[in-house]
């Protein structure tokens, strides 16, 4: 008997089958990490005093920073949407009588909460 | 097969262990009609164009689970997939990914079946119910808890959709973990503690990164991704609560 | 012989942190990025919305610290968990134990830093 053929995995994560539902979603982690570092730097500046804080705010106005934050925003939105899409699979099953609660409803409920939180946060911040 | 008057080209990844080191691709042109499935086309090729083509099938009606193939890169039941949806073609058909190819479109399924007994896919009771006590009774609500996970036909499309299984064949994989959930969720079963080690292991639910394609390709809506990820929560509970001696399956 | 499924994985510890961070990021990050990284620097918010006194007032308060500490540190756990598993996905299968220590060690370090700095504010 000759050997069976085992196909190599190659760059499976670039195949369209995986790219949009998975690979890009996982890639958002890099942007989450960058933003966490930006926030941590902000905390450090805050602790260092008013001048450092002003410097930090000044740095954030650099076009490169704005561009990076636009990218981070896109990644964050992608992360949010994909997170809500898989949320029904990660939580205990909910039944109404003999029928499982449709996953789409659970996803939509998350999106509604997300929208409310986002609007309230932005309005509170914008109001000064 | 209703021959029809349309034609479509089909590329098939072929592998003959006697002469090939690697699969090679061959092209066939088949006639088809509105109701022709991909399986019909494979049967046409075997009957009229090339009798040496090997592939598995049986029921032709999406219930035996034996006819799974990669169709344009997506794991699919070939009897449930229609040529009309791929017009004007060509289609590309390969053996299910992630399994060793024996010949042409036939794969070695041992990576699934060898692990099957470890999932304890039968009702486990502390005490067997005596025949005289009559059958186990179950309400429709209790039955509903495992309605979807019990619909699995072992077609293994989910394994061909799972890159984690492809990279690590020791991973229990989607259908097997869905089967674990199927019995754990059965009101007649008391064997959850025996099945927890499989859930808790690195090669159990913890090799899953929730790609989700297993559920997307499943022809029976078993939703193995949900079965696995709900059990991550179960496993996490078991991990911490065992210190309070509430948890089960303490195999360390 | 059939495969044996043991020992128990310690993944629940980091998975719970990952999941909590994922929920925090999914619910809050877009709005916060918009505010801190885009709207405020472009001057689209009210004049003094991110001025020193106001932010110190928020993050210096016990409530502010109780929100900021888990939020920021969980972002690190969320990101490092995915990055660690991403290494495996990219085909890096050798030395994963080493990368595990590196990835989660970094998240732990960031957590301690966050706590330390908040303590100073
Ligand atoms: S879970 Fe679905 S895709 Fe997987 S073997 Fe069962 S029926 Fe097939
Ligand atoms: S031939 Fe039975 S499932 Fe397709």
Asked if residues B177 and B149 have their Cβ atoms less than 8 Å apart, the reply is no
Smallest Cβ–Cβ distance between A125 and the set C30, C35, C52 belongs to C35
Contact (CB<8Å) B100/A5:
yes
DSSP assignment string, B13-62: EE--TTT-SS-EEEEEEEEE-TT-BHHHHHHHIIIII-TT-------SSS
DSSP alpha helix (H) spans, B93-186? 110-113, 140-144, 157-160, 163-167, 174-184
Q: Does C62 touch chain B (CB under 8 A)?
A: no
Percent of chain B with pLDDT over 70: 96
CA-nearest residue for atom 1, ligand 2, is B60
Ligand closest to CA B222: 1
Chain B residues touching C88 at Cβ < 8 A: 167
Residue pair C37/A73 in contact by the 8 Å Cβ criterion? yes
Average pLDDT on B226-245 reads 93
Q: Phi first, then psi: give them for residue B130, nearest 5 degrees.
A: -70, 145
Fold for the domain defined by B110-243: Fumarate Reductase Iron-sulfur Protein; Chain B, domain 2 (1.10.1060)
Question: Rounded to whole angstroms, how far apart are CA atoms C44 and A38?
Answer: 20
- As a whole number, the mean pLDDT across chain A is 95
Number of domains in chain C: 1
Of all atoms in ligand 2, which is nearest to the CA of residue B64?
2
* Closest Cβ–Cβ partner in A6, A21, A88 for B211: A21
Question: Which of B114, B219, A60 lies closest to C55 in space, CA to CA?
Answer: A60
Ligand 2 binding site (Cβ under 6 Å of any ligand atom): B 57-60, 62-67, 77, 79
pLDDT tens digits, C72-107? 999 999 999 999 999 999 999 888 899 999 999 999
Whole-angstrom distance, CA of residue A78 vs CA of residue A69 = 14
Contact B55, B106 (CB under 8 A): yes
Ligand 1 centroid distance, CA of B196 (Å): 21
- Bridge partner list, A99: A96
Q: Strand B74-77 to strand A99-100: parallel, antiparallel, or no bridges (unpaired)?
A: unpaired
- Asked if residue C11 is part of any domain, the answer here is no
Q: Whose CA is nearest to atom 3 of ligand 1?
A: B218
Local structure of A1: helix, strand or coil: coil
Report the mean per-residue pLDDT for chain C: 94
Q: What confidence score (pLDDT) does residue A123 get?
A: 92
A33–C80 C-beta distance less than 8 A? yes
* A108 near C CB under 8 A: no
- Other C-beta atoms lying within 10 Å of the C-beta of residue A48: 15
Place of tokens 């119910």: B129
| Position C99 in a domain | yes
Put simply, the chain A residues between 39 and 68 with a CB less than 8 A from any chain C CB are 39-40, 42-44, 46-47, 50, 53-54, 57, 60-61, 65-66, 68
- How far apart CA B95 and CA B104 sit, in angstroms, is 7
Is B34 in contact with B6 (CB distance < 8 Å)? no
Are B198 and B167 in contact by the 8 Å Cβ rule? The answer is no
Q: Where are the domains of chain B?
A: 6-107, 110-243
ipTM of predicted complex: 0.95
> Measuring CA to CA, which residue among A89, A69, A71 is closest to residue A24?
A71
Ligand 1 centre from B220 Cα, in Å?
A: 7
DSSP conformational letter for B117: G
Q: Subunits that touch chain C (at least 3 Cβ pairs < 8 angstroms)?
A: A, B
Of the candidate CATH numbers 3.30.70.20, 3.10.20.30, 3.40.50.300, 3.90.850.10, the domain formed by B6-107 belongs to: 3.10.20.30
> Which among C26, C37, C46 is the nearest to A128, CB-wise?
C46
Q: What does CATH list as the number for A12-127? A: 1.20.1300.10
Both structure tokens of A117: 């939180």
- What's the rounded mean pLDDT across residues B52-61? 98
For chain A, the three-class secondary structure string (H helix, E strand, C coil) is CCCCECCCCCCHHHCHHHHHHHHHHHHHHHHHHHHHHHHHHHHHHHHHCHHHHHHHHHHHCCHHHHHHHHHHHHHHHHHHHHHHHHHHHHCCCCEECCEECCHHHHHHHHHHHHHHHHHHHHHHHHHC
Instruction: Tell me the ligand closest to B228's alpha carbon.
Output: 1
CA distance B52 to B46: 7
| Residue nearest to ligand 1 atom 7, measured at CA | B152
To test the contact with chain C by mutation, choose from A21, A33, A55, A116 the residue with the greatest count of C C-beta atoms within 10 A, namely: A33
Q: Do A57 and C50 touch (CB under 8 A)?
A: yes
Domain ranges of chain A: 12-127
Distance CA A118, CA B41 (A): 53
Q: Evaluate: CB of B54 within 6 angstroms of ligand 1.
A: no
Asked if B149 and B182 touch (Cβ cutoff 8 Å), the reply is yes
* Burial of A119 (C-beta count, 10 Å sphere; 0-12/13-18/19+): exposed
Give B249→chain C minimum CA distance, Å. Answer: 10
Given a contact cutoff of 8 angstroms between Cβ atoms, the answer to whether C74 and C21 are in contact is: yes
pLDDT above 90 as % of chain A:
94
Q: Does C9 touch chain B (CB under 8 A)?
A: yes
Cα–Cα nearest to C85, from C75, C100, C72: C100
pLDDT of residue B89: 87
Helix (H, G, I), strand (E, B) or coil at C42: coil
Is B251 a residue whose pLDDT tops 60? no
| B7 DSSP β-pair partners | B31
Cis peptide before C7 (omega within 30 of 0): yes
- What are the C-alpha distances in Å from A63 to residues A66, A74, B10, C51, C107? 5, 17, 52, 20, 29
State whether A126 and C49 contact (CB < 8 Å): yes
B213 pLDDT band (50/70/90 cuts)? very high
Which domain covers residue C108, as residue numbers? 62-121
Question: Is it the case that residue B248 has pLDDT exceeding 60?
Answer: no
Higher pLDDT, C48 or B220: B220
pTM above 0.80, yes or no: yes
For residue B149, pLDDT over 50 is answered with yes
Number of the ligand 1 atom closest to the C-alpha atom of B156? 5
Sign of CA dihedral A89, A95, A98, A100: negative
Pick from B17, B148, B225: CB nearest A89: B225
- Could you tell me the pLDDT band of residue A13, with boundaries at 50, 70 and 90? very high
Q: How far apart are alpha carbons C2 and B170 in whole angstroms?
A: 11
Weakest-pLDDT range from A1-5, A46-50, B136-140: A1-5
Residue pair A95/B142 in contact by the 8 Å Cβ criterion: no
**pLDDT tens-digit readout, B107-118:** 999 999 999 999
Closest ligand to residue B68's CA: 2
* C90 within some domain: yes
Residue with tokens 């990055």: C83
> What is the per-residue pLDDT across A56-67, written as a single tens digit (0 to 9) for each?
999 999 999 999
How far is C72 from C111, CA to CA, in rounded Å? 8
Q: Three-class SS of residue A100? A: strand
d(CA C93, CA C103): 15
Does C94 touch chain B if contact means CB atoms closer than 8 Å?
no
- Whether C72 and A114 lie within 8 Å, measured CB to CB: no
């Amino acid at each position: 008997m000759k050997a069976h053929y085992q196909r190599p995995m190659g760059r499976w994560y670039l195949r369209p089958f995986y790219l949009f539902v998975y690979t890009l979603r996982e890639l958002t982690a890099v942007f989450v990490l960058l933003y966490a570092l930006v926030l941590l730097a902000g905390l450090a500046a805050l602790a260092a005093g008013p001048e450092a804080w002003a410097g930090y705010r000044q740095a954030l106005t650099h076009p490169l920073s704005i561009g990076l934050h636009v990218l981070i925003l896109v990644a964050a939105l992608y992360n949010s949407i994909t997170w809500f899409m898989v949320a029904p699979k990660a939580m205990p099953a909910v039944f109404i009588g003999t029928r499982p609660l449709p996953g789409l409803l659970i996803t939509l409920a998350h999106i509604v909460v997300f929208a409310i939180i986002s609007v309230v946060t932005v309005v509170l911040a914008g109001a000064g | 097969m209703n021959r029809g008057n349309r034609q479509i080209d089909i590329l098939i990844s072929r592998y003959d262990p006697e002469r090939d080191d690697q699969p090679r691709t061959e092209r066939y042109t088949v006639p088809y009609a509105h109701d022709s499935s991909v399986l019909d086309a494979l049967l046409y090729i075997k009957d009229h164009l090339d009798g040496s083509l090997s592939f598995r099938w049986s029921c032709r009606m999406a219930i035996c689970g034996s006819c799974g193939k990669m169709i344009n890169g997506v794991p699919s039941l070939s009897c449930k997939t229609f040529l009309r949806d791929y017009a004007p073609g060509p289609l590309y058909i390969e053996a299910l990914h992630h399994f060793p190819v024996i010949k042409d479109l036939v794969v070695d399924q041992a990576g699934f079946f060898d692990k099957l007994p470890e999932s304890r896919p039968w009702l486990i009771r502390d005490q067997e119910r005596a025949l005289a006590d009559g059958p186990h009774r179950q309400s429709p609500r209790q039955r509903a808890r495992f309605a979807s996970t019990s619909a699995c036909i072992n077609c293994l499309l989910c394994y061909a959709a799972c890159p984690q299984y492809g990279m690590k064949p020791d991973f229990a994989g989607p259908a097997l973990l869905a089967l674990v959930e199927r019995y754990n969720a059965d009101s007649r079963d008391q064997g959850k503690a025996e099945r927890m080690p499989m859930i808790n292991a690195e090669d159990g639910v913890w090799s899953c990164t929730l790609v989700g394609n297993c559920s997307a390709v499943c022809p029976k809506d078993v939703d193995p991704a949900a079965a696995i990820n709900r059990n991550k929560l179960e496993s996490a509970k078991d991990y911490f609560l065992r210190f309070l001696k509430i948890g089960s399956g303490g195999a360390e | 012989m059939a495969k044996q499924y043991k020992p128990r994985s310690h993944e629940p510890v980091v998975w719970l942190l990952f999941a909590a961070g994922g929920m925090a990021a999914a619910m809050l990050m877009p709005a916060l990025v918009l505010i801190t990284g885009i709207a405020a620097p472009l001057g689209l918010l009210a004049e003094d919305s991110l001025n020193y006194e106001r932010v110190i007032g928020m993050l210096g308060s016990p409530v502010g610290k109780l929100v900021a500490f888990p939020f920021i540190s969980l972002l690190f756990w969320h990101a490092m968990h995915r990055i660690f598993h991403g290494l495996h996905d990219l085909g890096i299968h050798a030395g994963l134990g080493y990368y595990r220590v590196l990835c989660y060690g970094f998240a732990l370090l960031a957590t301690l830093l966050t706590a330390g700095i908040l303590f100073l504010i």
